[in-house]
Homo-oligomer: A and B are copies of this chain.
Amino acid sequence: MDQTLYGGIEAGGTKFVCAVGTGEGEILRETRFPTRDPEETLRKAISFFNEQLGENPLQAIGIGSFGPLDLNPSSPTYGYITTTPKTNWSNTDLVGEVEKTLGLPVSIDTDVNAAALGEHRWGAAKGLETFIYLTIGTGIGGGGMVKGQLLHGLIHPEMGHIPLPHDVGQDSFEGACSYHGDCFEGLASGSAIAKRWGQSPESLPPDHPAWSLEAKYIGYALAVYVYVLSPERIILGGGVMRQKELFPLIRAELKQVLQGYVRSDAILVDNDDYIVPPKLGDQAGVLGAIAMAKVGLEGGTGISQHARAH
């Protein structure tokens, strides 16, 4: 058993989750608080970890953060949140702040890649090589692995912002994304649902027409991911997906969009096991951040860790 301790930060647009855990995925302490401005929020996170340091020192910190992030280790703004519609958070030096104040090695990746890593270690993606983790909450983001490597490239995926078919005759809502209007996030995020129907997703009953429309856009998006990446499984997390009635609707929509073109029983015959909720529930992100802290120390899986001197 690996009882070495690591810190994990899930830096979400709505809330922060900080936890101390073992390399085996056991969480010993956890705290959650709403995301305010960077200064106040990071101070809270740091004091949570500082309280632990006296007892059993942490080896490293992993951060899974909302983005876009600069994940290029050779860039002067490595570890920064770069551009974000989230007020005050543009150009925030996440890694630098945490490294400086805690004096520990810090690994960072997107919140969704962190959750993907968590699910791969201990959850619904165990044993898979190529899969997607999508979160549909206030915003929409996606991460995942291809052949066991977390998805990065020029930067990192921003799967929530794909353009989708939008029949304005059927659905006149102009979209809620401040960058793209009616991209996937603009049409189907929790914020989009709230704006479109004038009430929060949680308050909409299961038989509300919001859900079939939601499933339609999610079905389109999943078809895109299937065509581009051919994942072995798609994990759907985030606040909006707490509406469990969405799962069967989405599975049906995906089949409908694919029209039998992708010949796989996993999709065509029984896709209950193809489109699934996260097994780690709302701890996927922070557990993934802990896994990332560990992997960052050991190297591998494409986690970027800064070689900055302390």
Interface residues, chain A, CB within 8 Å of chain B? 68, 82-83, 129-131, 142, 146-147, 149, 151-166, 179-180, 220, 223-232, 257, 259-264, 266-267, 302
Contact = CB atoms under 8 A, between A and B. Distances in A.
Given A151-B146, A180-B261, A166 B163 contact: no
15 contacts: A68-B261, A68-B262, A68-B263, A83-B260, A83-B261, A146-B153, A151-B230, A154-B230, A155-B263, A163-B164, A163-B224, A179-B260, A180-B257, A228-B228, A228-B229
A149 B229 CA distance: 12
A232 B153 contact: yes
A165 B162 contact: no
Given A147-B152, A179-B260, A179-B261, 19 more contacts: A83-B261, A83-B263, A130-B154, A146-B146, A147-B149, A154-B231, A154-B264, A155-B230, A155-B264, A158-B230, A158-B261, A159-B227, A159-B228, A161-B261, A162-B223, A162-B224, A163-B165, A163-B220, A164-B165
A140 to B, nearest CB: 11
Contact of A162 (B151, B228, B231): B228
A230 B156 contact: yes
Nearest to A181: B259
A195 to B, nearest CB: 19
Q: Give the top 5 A-B pairs by smallest Cβ distance, nearest first.
A: A153-B230, A130-B153, A146-B146, A147-B149, A179-B261
A92 to B, nearest CB: 14
A264 B158 CA distance: 13
